[in-house]
Homo-oligomer: A and B are copies of this chain.
Amino acid sequence: MAGTARPVVLDAMSGDHGPAETVPGALAARREHGVPVVLVGRADDLHRELRRHGGTGEVEVEHAGEVVPMAERGARAAARPESSLAVGCALARRRGAAFVSAGSTGAVVTCAVRAFGRREGVLRPALAVALPTPSGSTVLVDAGGTADPTPKMLRQFALLGAAYARNVLGVPDPSVGLLSIGAEPGKGNRLAREAAALLPGLPARFHGNVEGHDVLAGTVDVVVTDGFTGNVVLKNIEGCVRTVLGMVAEAGIAPPDRLAEVARLYTADTHGGAALLGLAGTVVVGHGSSRSTAIARACVVASELAAGGGPVPVDGRSSPRTAAPVGPVA
């Protein structure tokens, strides 16, 4: 896709490792996938890293003097207009480019909502991650965008997730399950029970409740939950994969390098990060611990999502295969 790829604006100060990983990640996106990247952050730091990787001139650099610490909460982060996060969001918006950050999810969501705005009718944005299952992928939504949603918001997350499954994964008529603690509609906490009453009316194929063991079983194409539970589940899967494959390696019953291939399916190196759905722009939130491979993958995913274009129908109307749910407004 070299030459035709959409440009991506990268918050180069983000993540646990900052420019030491974002700069080589951006160079890999450019060199290996033809995705043009604009690095945003402290110009001195970025040019030094570019020199270190022999990449001066290969990607653009936009200066932003401040850095949002990983521990910063959303509202405080948004009050730093000179940060690489805020400057990056604004630049992406002006250029109609996709935006990638491996910063704190709360901070990225808050700043991205301010910069891009929500699509018409969207109450709150949600993060979507496609997780590998034995038969394909399941979209987990919300994986951490909105920690305390209302039942109505969950209903929209279901539609955003279904649009993602259709447009990004190519599933023609995705099934949607509500994550709860029992298969029956009466089971769950207050939020899940109230949402279970709203979802059967969705203009989407509603499967009913699903449980924790269904997330990776391929029971449904889309698993809908609140951003707290979704984020816990996403990270729980990461930890579980690591621990269980570690036990297999420890038992000496499989070669570690072959196990690493399976483990990689569940890391940001493969999925690249979470798409922030419901905004009038394309935003991908990378994992805080992303190394350069995961950063490169996030840039490629963001470029592909942006190339899809077109709005997400939160009223549930179907949209053509080429329309990505997080693409920029044309």
* A residues whose Cβ falls under 8 Å from a Cβ of B: 71, 73, 104-106, 133-134, 144, 147-148, 179-184, 186-190, 192, 211-217, 225-229, 231-248, 250-251, 253-255, 258-259, 261-262, 265-266
Contacts and interface: CB of A to CB of B under 8 A. Distances in A.
Contacts of A232: 179-181, 211-212, 225, 229, 232-233
Nearest to A216: B243
Nearest to A246: B134
B148 A181 contact: no
Contacts of A73: 184, 186-187
A233 B233 contact: yes
Nearest to A212: B235
Contacts of A236: 212-213, 215-216, 233, 236-237, 240
A224 to B, nearest CB: 13
27 contacts: A71-B184, A73-B184, A134-B243, A147-B190, A180-B228, A181-B227, A181-B235, A188-B228, A189-B226, A212-B232, A212-B238, A213-B236, A214-B239, A215-B240, A216-B240, A216-B242, A217-B239, A217-B242, A228-B229, A236-B236, A245-B248, A247-B262, A248-B254, A248-B262, A251-B262, A253-B254, A253-B255
A281 B243 CA distance: 34
A106 B193 CA distance: 14
Nearest to A247: B262
B240 A241 contact: yes
A259 B248 contact: yes
A265 B245 contact: no
B251 A258 contact: yes
A238 B216 CA distance: 10
Nearest to A252: B258
Given A104-B182, A181-B231, 17 more contacts: A71-B184, A134-B243, A134-B247, A134-B250, A211-B232, A212-B231, A212-B239, A213-B235, A215-B240, A216-B243, A225-B232, A229-B229, A233-B233, A236-B237, A247-B265, A248-B262, A253-B258
A246 B241 CA distance: 12
Contact of A254 (B212, B216, B254): B254
A139 to B, nearest CB: 16
A101 to B, nearest CB: 15
Contacts of A179: 232
A265 B250 CA distance: 14
Nearest to A71: B184
Contacts of A181: 105, 144, 147, 227-228, 231-232, 235
A255 B252 CA distance: 11
A189 B179 CA distance: 17
A198 to B, nearest CB: 18
Contacts of A182: 71, 104-106
Contacts of A217: 239, 242-243
Nearest to A232: B212
Nearest to A190: B148
